[in-house]
A = this chain, B = another copy of it.
Amino acid sequence: MLSIIIYDIPSDKLRSKIADVCQDYGLDRIQFSAFLGEINHNRREELLQKIKREIGKKPANVQLFPICDKDVRLRQMVVVNESNERTDKPDSQ
């Protein structure tokens, strides 16, 4: 099932470590502090345990939401890149 992981982590080092862990689990970076990807229940639990171990007692806020196929089809984006080119994804409904 698709899941989205978003995080607020003050430490650059820890934030970068959490990004590495998400990438190791095959998730795609969709924003600086957000990953999205297909991950089954067992791997999701394993990923969360790994994230908890990395965080330890360091300040962090990590949230994971599974997203069903129906919801992901309703995803909407507004994207303007640094060259001021707009690349909105139109409503995919």
How does the 8 Å CB contact mask read for A64-81 relative to B, with 1 for contact and 0 for none? 111110111011111111
Contacting residue for A80 out of B6, B57, B77, B78, CB 8 A: B57
Give how many A residues have a beta carbon under 8 Å from the other chain's beta carbons: 41
Q: Are B78 and A55 in contact (CB under 8 A)?
A: yes
Asked if A25 is at the interface of the complex by the 8 Å CB criterion, the answer is no
Q: Are A63 and B8 in contact (CB under 8 A)?
A: no
User: Which chain B residue shows the least CB distance to A91?
Assistant: B45
A71 to chain B minimum Cβ distance, whole angstroms, is 5
Q: Are A67 and B70 in contact (CB under 8 A)?
A: no
Q: Are B78 and A71 in contact (CB under 8 A)?
A: no
Q: Are B61 and A31 in contact (CB under 8 A)?
A: yes
